[in-house]
Amino acid sequence: MKLILLGPPGAGKGTQAKMLTDEFAIPQISTGDILRAAVNDGTPLGVKAKSFMDAGGLVPDEVVIGIVAERLQQDDCGNGFILDGFPRTVAQADALQANLQQMGKDLDSVVALQVDSEALVERLTGRRTCKACGRGYHVSFDPSTKAGLCDDCGGELFQRDDDREETIRKRLDVYDEQTAPLISYYRDGGMLVELDGMLPIADVQETLLTALRAN
Ligand code: AMP
């Protein structure tokens, strides 16, 4: 299964991707996670990416295209992969197509999760993540039992720097301008599945699995 999960920040791509990794035994490739790890580790990539991420903008195409091209070569992608947060521009989508073609591979599906922008802001401002294990929470919709601590491992919960309201608005504008055009890009390519991302997580999961199995 070679899949792209498309949708604005907060649409639930990461949540659904994690579920799909278990279901299909394929890796989730989240460019956001890769970049955040690089920022935390202070690598040259992280230093380069940080200012773009803090401002809610996109990291330059050539940087992320290189990261994904390298990641797709790894052994665990042999049976497929879930791209989460990539591509985000038409240039990235073109580069991905060229890259897959070179590898003799093709995408199976592109799933777009649709969510209203006010719901996105609410989801993102309340989003918290465990520092230790990465589990996600929401302060209102899915709080941890003990405030600020992970139910699974007791790790400290944190709010992403770019999940503050001002940066969120900027990220949503960037999505509308640069990423939303990919909906028609893939629709024209005949591989787009559009799903209602406003539904509860379990219902999105069910419709997603049904759509992928029918593909
Ligand atoms: P995410 O975790 O997917 O919301 O990504 C967090 C931030 O990482 C984004 O706001 C961008 O600054 C950067 N980023 C992640 N993926 C990409 C991408 N495909 N192209 C450019 N920037 C990206």
Ligand 1 near 85 CB (within 6 A): yes
Q: Which helix (H) or strand (E) holds 102?
A: helix 90-102
Ligand 1 centroid, distance to 33 Cα (angstroms) = 8
Find the catalytic residue in 2, 50, 123, 171.
171
How far is residue 205's CA from residue 201's CA, in Å, rounded to a whole number? 6
pLDDT band at 150 (very low <50, low <70, confident <90, very high): very high
Ligand 1 near 88 CB (within 6 A): yes
Strand (E) positions, 148-198?
A: 157-158, 192-196
How far is residue 154's CA from residue 130's CA, in Å, rounded to a whole number? 9
Ligand 1 centroid, distance to 146 Cα (angstroms) = 30
Ligand 1 near 128 CB (within 6 A): no
Ligand 1 near 127 CB (within 6 A): no
Q: Is residue 151 part of a domain?
A: no
Q: Would the pLDDT of 214 be above 90?
A: no
Q: pLDDT tens-digit profile of 26-40?
A: 999 999 999 999 999
Q: Are 86 and 92 within 8 A, CB to CB?
A: yes
Query: Domain count of the chain?
Result: 1
Q: pLDDT tens-digit profile of 47-105?
A: 999 999 999 999 999 999 999 999 999 999 999 999 999 999 999 999 999 999 999 99
For residue 15, the domain's CATH number is 3.40.50.300
Q: Is residue 6 part of a domain?
A: yes
Q: Is residue 43 part of a domain?
A: no
Please choose from 58, 94, 124 the residue to mutate so as to test ligand 1's pocket, defined by most ligand atoms within 8 A of CB. Answer: 58
- 36 in active site: no
Which range marks the domain in which residue 184 is found? 2-26+79-116+179-214
Q: What is the pLDDT of residue 30?
A: 97
How far is residue 31's CA from residue 22's CA, in Å, rounded to a whole number? 19
How far is residue 19's CA from residue 38's CA, in Å, rounded to a whole number? 24
Q: Is residue 139 part of a domain?
A: no
How far is residue 133's CA from residue 154's CA, in Å, rounded to a whole number? 9
Amino acid at 67: I
Average pLDDT over residues 119-143: 93
Q: Is residue 168 part of a domain?
A: no
Q: Is residue 203 part of a domain?
A: yes
How far is residue 200's CA from residue 61's CA, in Å, rounded to a whole number? 33
Q: Is residue 85 part of a domain?
A: yes
Q: Is residue 149 part of a domain?
A: no
